[in-house]
């Protein structure tokens, strides 16, 4: 109902404006009614150009103040993360400077050179020197960004396997994630979706005869030890998914029919992340919002929202169907000991099969 | 001056060579001016559908789970009790994208203005083939019709995103929209591509062969350069999408495995073996990225013309502008991989595509600086078209700059497919191209409909649109920088994002206001068609040839001989002339230099 009212209000505003314009036109009937801008239009719109420039700056400032905490440029929880964050900050600073200057020039010139009857513009068609300058400056800046970017990219993507690296498979299906650990031998057993057998609970299609597969461990939570390189092998059984782990600056698509790879080394446990001042602030902010929402919900007789506690997450970031928006898995980063203790509690693949 | 005074005189007793019936004049017309109007009006209708869809999505994101009367009214069974269904949200995402990119900003923009201006500004009687031009429009109409019909099929329209990546788009069991809805989507797009190719070939042939005497390539207005190069990119890249669509149709209906392999879904293994979705991504983006420039270049061309005319100044750096169009066109065909940095393709390819992608920033920067310099020391006439052109430069800069982040593979890892991307491309190609469309409509309305649009409504339309466009898309970058993925039906599953997703309500309010004020434009457009003030021969005092043609539309565009061209299109405020404009058909004075060559 409120929405219909909103639309009615907007419609009547439109009608009102139309009427005002009509009156304006009638009042100007004696003036030249050519629908071509005259000096008055130029003056008004010239001033509005400055107002609009101010609006752009204001919305920039408001956005930075309210939402400019940028969890994606600080507090990286992986060893390669700060590299990306530095590049991001450099790029953003450059963008910010160019944006501020060019928008100023554009709107200020629009205001300054607003048309007047009888004035003549400067006939100024070409200047090779200027063209050269604003070709070469972007060339230099971009060359720097490209080189920095390429080194960062190549560092992250062309990783070498450490001796103690942990091999984990991320397995995607509509609409959940599974993790498969390689076990003692640190080699994942062979797998193919054609081997899936729901009757004996071989849900990931692992080759039951493969000796490497026997000690694999399948879990629904991703636990990672801090400080050890993790090599992810991504698989999907149905459609494209994307394994997005924003806190670790990590993302890779999961593609049916092939195995994709990504690697990072977690550098902060879940507990350490929860106790950083930024995260304490952020969580407090979120809980304040949730408390307000809960009050409203309670008034309506609905259940209140849970208090939020921070956890690392793996999100699906490639459109995959109806519940794409809720395809997530919790990630826990912990010390090596805690990780080993957790791992001991998990069932090995060979023991997880149901014998009929 | 004498040249157009003469044509004006003719116009009063203009006579037709052909007998025209209602059907040949208004429906199966082969006249480029009528076809351009058909394109425009079809594009506007599709645009209204596309914008309404985006507003529905915005309302869902701002107020999820709350019953909404508008949802029940517009979505019917897809919004039981007024709560939107998650599948239909994805369908809205998909069809909004498809309609806006292809039907509004490709056909509606390029189709309208290439058709109107290529013959008129080149000095041609009509397109090289009027018949193919007519076929092109009617194929576009047919594809629009099929796309609209697809909204009403039992299981809902296509819902795999406008990029329709398989296997999601290939398997009806993966989502309801991948059934009949996707079949219709593919058929519609195949017809659309045929239409676009016929149109593009016609534009290319016309520009190459049918320029009037004196209209050398270096005297062409930048509009024509932009339309010409756009058509070339279209001819190079659209067929690749057509082949991808045909292969997808075969995978879907005839059991081939181009894009599919090793799939287990809903409890059964499918027979597909050996294909790869990544191949589809390559084929799709080989069109998909040039498509961005197919959308943007005509808008930039229109801006060049409208900006120079209303600044009463030559466009700054004509040769650099042409060179940057060519550079952008060339680079646009070798950057598609930047959509696929995290698709699983070889990281070395990622490096190559980062390099080529960031290079595009150079010609883009040159264009932006040249536009700004064109304003410098001008005598700016703020007609509505001019405002939209300046608005375009502003959003082109804001949106283009963030491309530096997205084009950098290392940074893309983290913002890929987040709202940062949504904000980026909506500003740089969506809003910019839409502004180009509006600038073009306000500027050439008198040429198309013989009447003027109301300028005050134009001002209101521009300022509200400009403010709401920034209000919608600027804060959206920040949601993306917090890591919120796009194409999520609601953000309530992730408390992690609660502190940024509360900006959604603000964005939605800006969107609703901006959307509502498009009604001002629609009203102005249709009202002025019948009751607008009658135009004079050359209302904006422009140099290009279309303003020398009689106001009344005639077959063949000019009575008598086609005007000859003696100078480039940008002799505004040239010293030694009394007027601040010198049309292209005015011979050089004795001793006058054609400065720019």
The residue extents of the domains of chain B are: 2-11+29-548
The whole-number pLDDT of residue A69 equals 79
Which chain A residue's Cα is nearest to B397? A99
Question: Phi/psi class of residue B228: alpha, beta or left (left: φ > 0; alpha: ψ in -120 to 50)?
Answer: alpha
- Structure token digits, residue A351: 């023991």
The whole-number pLDDT of residue A21 equals 72
Facing residue for A196 by CB, picked from B264, B477, B536: B264
What is the pTM for the complete model shown?
0.93
More confident residue, B307 or B81: B307
Domain B2-11+29-548 has CATH 1.20.210.10: yes
List, in order, residues 6 or more apart from A194 with CB less than 8 Å away: A205, B262, B264, B269
The whole-number pLDDT of residue A250 equals 96
Residue B427 forms contact with A (CB below 8 Å): no
Distance from B373 to chain A by nearest Cα, in Å?
A: 9
Average model confidence (pLDDT) for chain A? 91
Q: Which of B210, B245, B36, B228 is nearest to B136 (CA)?
A: B36
CA distance A61 to B509: 19
Query: Helix B361-375 to helix B318-332 angle, to the nearest 10 degrees?
Result: 150
The whole-number pLDDT of residue B12 equals 39
Q: What is A166-272+308-352's CATH superfamily?
A: Cupredoxins -  blue copper proteins (2.60.40.420)
- Structure token digits, residue A342: 């957790």
Residue A327: CB atoms within 10 A of its CB come to 24
CA distance A40 to A240: 57
CB contact under 8 A, A325 and B490: yes
- First and final C-alpha spacing in chain B: 23
CB contact under 8 A, B483 and A35: no
Distance from A140 to chain B by nearest Cα, in Å?
A: 10
The whole-number pLDDT of residue A24 equals 65
Which chain A residue's Cα is nearest to B399? A99
Q: Which of B363, B371, B365, B369 is nearest to B324 (CA)?
A: B363
Which chain B residue's Cα is nearest to A11? B516
pLDDT over 50 (residue B573): yes
Q: What is the DSSP letter of B416?
A: T
Mean pLDDT of B520-538: 94
Distance from B39 to chain A by nearest Cα, in Å?
A: 25
Facing residue for A125 by CB, picked from B314, B390, B519: B314
Which chain A residue's Cα is nearest to B342? A252
Of the pLDDT bands very low, low, confident and very high (cuts 50, 70, 90), residue B11 is very low
More confident residue, A179 or B67: A179
B140-182 pLDDT tens trace: 999 999 999 999 999 999 999 999 999 999 999 999 999 999 9
Q: Which of B95, B94, B57 is nearest to B79 (CA)?
A: B57
> What does the longest C-alpha to C-alpha distance in chain B come to?
85
The whole-number pLDDT of residue A8 equals 76
Which chain B residue's Cα is nearest to A234? B344
Helix H, strand E, coil C: the string for B375-389 is: HCCCCECCCHHHHHH
The whole-number pLDDT of residue A2 equals 58
CA distance B561 to B547: 15
Best B381, B393, B502, B577 residue to mutate vs chain A (most A CBs within 10 Å): B381
Element (H, E) at A344: helix A336-345
A270-329 pLDDT tens trace: 999 999 998 999 999 999 999 998 998 899 888 888 899 999 999 999 999 999 999 999
Please give the share of chain A, as a percent, with pLDDT higher than 90: 76
Residue A11 forms contact with B (CB below 8 Å): yes
Mean pLDDT of B53-67: 92
Note whether B158 and B185 are within 8 A (CB): yes
CB contact under 8 A, B171 and A239: yes
Note whether B189 and B106 are within 8 A (CB): no
pLDDT over 80 (residue B530): yes
CA distance B338 to B336: 5
Note whether B370 and B316 are within 8 A (CB): yes
B182-221 pLDDT tens trace: 999 999 999 999 999 999 999 999 999 999 999 999 999 9
- Flag the least confident range among B1-10, B516-525, B546-555, B572-581: B1-10
The whole-number pLDDT of residue A3 equals 61
The whole-number pLDDT of residue B84 equals 93
Every domain of chain A and the residues it spans:
34-117, 166-272+308-352
Residue A32 forms contact with B (CB below 8 Å): no
List, in order, residues 6 or more apart from A158 with CB less than 8 Å away: B347
List, in order, residues 6 or more apart from B224 with CB less than 8 Å away: B117, B118, B121, B122, B207, B301
pLDDT over 80 (residue A22): no
pLDDT over 50 (residue B395): yes
The whole-number pLDDT of residue B14 equals 41
CA distance B393 to B397: 6
CB contact under 8 A, A121 and B358: no
Torsion (CA) A25, A27, A31, A33 in degrees, nearest 10: 10
Best A149, A171, A244, A316 residue to mutate vs chain B (most B CBs within 10 Å): A149
Of the pLDDT bands very low, low, confident and very high (cuts 50, 70, 90), residue B65 is confident
The whole-number pLDDT of residue B464 equals 96
CA distance B580 to B65: 60
Distance from A344 to chain B by nearest Cα, in Å?
A: 30
Please give the share of chain B, as a percent, with pLDDT higher than 70: 96
Mean pLDDT of B438-453: 96
Of the pLDDT bands very low, low, confident and very high (cuts 50, 70, 90), residue A26 is low
Which chain A residue's Cα is nearest to B452? A35
Mean pLDDT of A136-160: 93
**A92 contacts in B (CB within 8 Å)?**
405
Mean pLDDT of A226-242: 96
The whole-number pLDDT of residue B76 equals 87
CA distance A72 to A85: 7
- Write down how long chain B is: 597
* A residues 297-336 lying closer than 8 A (beta carbon) to B: 305-306, 308, 310, 313, 315-326, 328
CA distance B172 to B167: 9
Which chain A residue's Cα is nearest to B409? A153
**B513 contacts in A (CB within 8 Å)?**
10
Note whether A273 and A312 are within 8 A (CB): yes
Facing residue for A67 by CB, picked from B354, B475, B596: B475
Q: What share of chain A is helix, strand, coil (3-state, %, to 5)?
A: 50, 20, 35
The whole-number pLDDT of residue A72 equals 78
**B390 contacts in A (CB within 8 Å)?**
49, 106-107, 110
CB contact under 8 A, A125 and B596: yes
Mean pLDDT of B471-476: 95
DSSP of B298-323: HHHHHHHHHHHHHHTSPPTTHHHHHH
Residue A79 forms contact with B (CB below 8 Å): no
List, in order, residues 6 or more apart from B193 with CB less than 8 Å away: B238, B239, B241, B242, B245
**A48 contacts in B (CB within 8 Å)?**
463
């Amino acid at each position: 109902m409120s929405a219909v009212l909103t639309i009615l209000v907007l419609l009547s505003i439109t009608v009102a404006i139309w009427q005002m314009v009509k009156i304006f036109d009638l009042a100007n009937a004696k003036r030249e009614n050519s629908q071509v801008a005259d000096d008055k239009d130029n003056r008004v719109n010239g001033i509005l150009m400055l107002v609009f420039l101010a609006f752009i700056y204001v919305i920039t400032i408001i956005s930075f103040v309210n939402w400019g905490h940028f969890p994606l440029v600080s507090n990286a929880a992986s060893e390669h993360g700060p590299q990306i964050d530095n590049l991001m900050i450099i790029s953003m600073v450059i963008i910010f400077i160019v944006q501020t200057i060019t928008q100023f020039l554009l709107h200020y010139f629009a205001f300054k050179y607003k048309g007047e009857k009888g004035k003549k513009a400067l006939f100024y068609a070409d200047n090779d020197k200027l063209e050269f300058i604003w070709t070469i400056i972007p060339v230099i800046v971009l060359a720097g960004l490209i080189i920095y970017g390429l080194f960062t990219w190549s560092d992250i993507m062309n990783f070498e396997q450490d001796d103690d690296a942990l091999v984990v498979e991320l397995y995607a299906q509509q609409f959940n994630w599974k993790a498969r650990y390689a076990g003692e031998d640190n080699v994942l057993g062979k797998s193919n979706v054609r081997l899936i057998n729901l009757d004996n609970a071989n849900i990931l299609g692992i080759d039951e005869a493969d000796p490497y597969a026997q000690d694999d461990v399948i879990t629904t939570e991703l636990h990672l030890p801090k400080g050890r390189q993790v090599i992810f092998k991504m698989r999907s059984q149905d459609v494209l998914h994307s394994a997005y782990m924003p806190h670790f600056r990590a993302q890779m698509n999961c593609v049916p029919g092939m195995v994709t790879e990504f690697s990072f080394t977690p550098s902060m446990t879940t507990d350490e992340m929860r106790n950083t001042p930024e995260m304490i602030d952020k969580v407090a902010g979120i809980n304040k919002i949730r408390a307000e929402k809960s009050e409203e919900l309670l008034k309506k007789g609905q259940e209140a929202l849970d208090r939020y506690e921070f956890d690392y997450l793996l999100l699906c970031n490639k459109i995959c169907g109806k519940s794409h928006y809720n395809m997530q898995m919790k990630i826990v980063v912990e010390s090596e000991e805690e990780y080993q203790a957790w791992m001991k509690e998990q069932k090995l693949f060979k023991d997880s099969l149901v014998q009929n | 001056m004498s040249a157009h005074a003469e044509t004006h005189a003719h116009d009063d007793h203009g006579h037709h060579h052909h007998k025209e019936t209602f059907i040949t004049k208004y429906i199966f017309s082969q006249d480029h001016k009528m076809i351009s109007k058909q394109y425009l009006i079809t594009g506007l209708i599709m645009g209204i559908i596309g914008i309404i869809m985006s507003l529905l999505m915005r309302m869902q994101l701002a107020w999820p789970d709350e019953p909404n009367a508008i949802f029940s009214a517009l979505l019917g069974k897809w919004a039981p009790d007024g709560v939107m269904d998650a599948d239909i949200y994805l369908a809205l995402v998909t069809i909004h994208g498809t309609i806006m990119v292809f039907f509004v900003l490709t056909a509606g923009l390029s189709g309208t203005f290439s058709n109107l201006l290529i013959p008129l500004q080149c000095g041609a009687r009509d397109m090289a083939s009027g018949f193919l031009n007519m076929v092109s429009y009617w194929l576009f109409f047919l594809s629009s019709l099929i796309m609209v019909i697809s909204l009403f099929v039992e299981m809902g329209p296509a819902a795999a995103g406008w990029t329709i990546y398989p296997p999601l788009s290939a398997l009806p069991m993966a989502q309801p929209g991948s059934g009949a809805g996707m079949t219709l989507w593919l058929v519609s797009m195949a017809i659309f591509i045929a239409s676009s190719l016929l149109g593009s070939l016609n534009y290319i042939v016309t520009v190459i062969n049918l320029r009037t005497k004196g209209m050398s390539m270096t005297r062409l207005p930048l509009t024509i350069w932009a339309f010409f190069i756009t058509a070339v990119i279209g001819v190079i890249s659209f067929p690749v999408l057509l082949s991808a669509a045909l292969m997808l149709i075969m995978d879907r209906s005839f059991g081939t495995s181009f894009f599919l392999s090793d799939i287990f879904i809903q409890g059964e293994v499918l027979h597909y073996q050996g294909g790869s979705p990544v191949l589809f991504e390559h084929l799709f983006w080989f069109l998909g990225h040039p498509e961005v420039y197919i959308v943007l270049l005509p808008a930039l061309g229109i801006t060049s013309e409208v900006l120079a005319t209303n600044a009463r100044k030559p466009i700054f750096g004509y040769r650099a502008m042409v060179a940057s169009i060519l550079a952008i066109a060339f680079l646009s065909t070798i950057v598609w991989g930047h959509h696929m940095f995290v698709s699983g393709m070889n990281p070395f390819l990622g490096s190559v595509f980062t390099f080529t992608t960031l290079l595009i920033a150079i010609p883009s920067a040159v264009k932006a600086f040249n536009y700004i310099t064109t304003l410098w020391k001008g005598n700016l006439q703020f007609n509505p078209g001019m405002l939209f052109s300046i608005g375009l430069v502003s959003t082109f800069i804001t949106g283009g700059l963030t491309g530096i982040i997205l084009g950098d593979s290392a940074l893309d890892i983290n913002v890929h497919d987040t709202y940062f991307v949504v904000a980026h491309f909506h500003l740089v190609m969506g809003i910019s191209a839409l502004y180009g469309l509006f600038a073009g409509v306000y500027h050439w309305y008198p040429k198309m409909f013989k009447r003027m649009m109301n300028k005050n409504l134009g001002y209101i339309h521009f300022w509200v649109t400009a403010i709401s466009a920034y209000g919608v898309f600027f804060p959206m970058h920040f949601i993306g920088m917090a890591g919120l993925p796009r194409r999520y039906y609601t953000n309530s599953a992730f408390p992690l994002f609660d502190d940024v997703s509360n900006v959604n309500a603000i964005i939605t309010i800006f969107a609703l206001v901006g959307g509502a004020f498009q009604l001002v434009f629609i009203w102005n457009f249709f009202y002025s068609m019948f009751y607008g003030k009658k135009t004079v021969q050359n209302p904006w005092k422009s140099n290009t040839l279309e303003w020398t043609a009689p106001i009344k539309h005639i077959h063949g565009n000019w009575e008598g001989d086609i005007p000859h061209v003696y100078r480039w299109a940008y002799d505004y405020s040239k010293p030694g002339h009394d007027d601040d404009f010198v049309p292209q058909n005015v011979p050089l004075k004795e001793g006058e230099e054609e400065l720019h060559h």
